[in-house]
């Protein structure tokens, strides 16, 4: 199963080390492949360095793609994380 959604970054400082770490921890035990696409760059969302290289700022829009057996659960967790600013606000 593959899912795709557009998400807007709400964190006031964008996606820096702390929220990137939260994303990687959230995805650590998942079986699905997860990618983030911003502008023309697509990265593996299980890599903290790749997430940081996107240099996401507040209000940037990304496309999240999740493909795999646990895709619905993974997508739900990611959407909740982005909505809650990964606990920062």
- pTM equals 0.94
**Sequence spans of domains, the chain:** 2-87
Is-contact 76 3, C-beta < 8 A? no
- Residue 57 among the catalytic residues: no
- Torsions phi, psi for 29 (to 5 deg): -95, 10
Is-contact 9 58, C-beta < 8 A? yes
CATH topology of domain 2-87: 3.30.1340
* pLDDT of res. 80: 97
In tens digits, the chain (89 residues) has pLDDT values of 899 999 999 999 999 999 999 999 999 999 999 999 999 999 999 999 999 999 999 999 999 999 999 999 999 999 999 999 998 86
> Which residue in 16, 28, 38, 57 is the catalytic one?
16
């Amino acid at each position: 199963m593959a899912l795709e959604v557009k998400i807007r970054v709400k964190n006031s400082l964008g996606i820096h080390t702390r929220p990137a770490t939260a994303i990687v921890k959230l995805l650590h035990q998942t079986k699905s492949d997860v990618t983030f696409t911003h502008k023309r760059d697509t990265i593996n969302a299980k890599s903290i360095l790749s997430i940081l290289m996107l240099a996401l700022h507040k209000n940037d829009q990304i496309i999240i793609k999740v493909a795999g057996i646990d895709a619905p659960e993974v997508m739900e967790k990611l959407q909740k994380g982005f909505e809650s600013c990964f606990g920062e606000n």
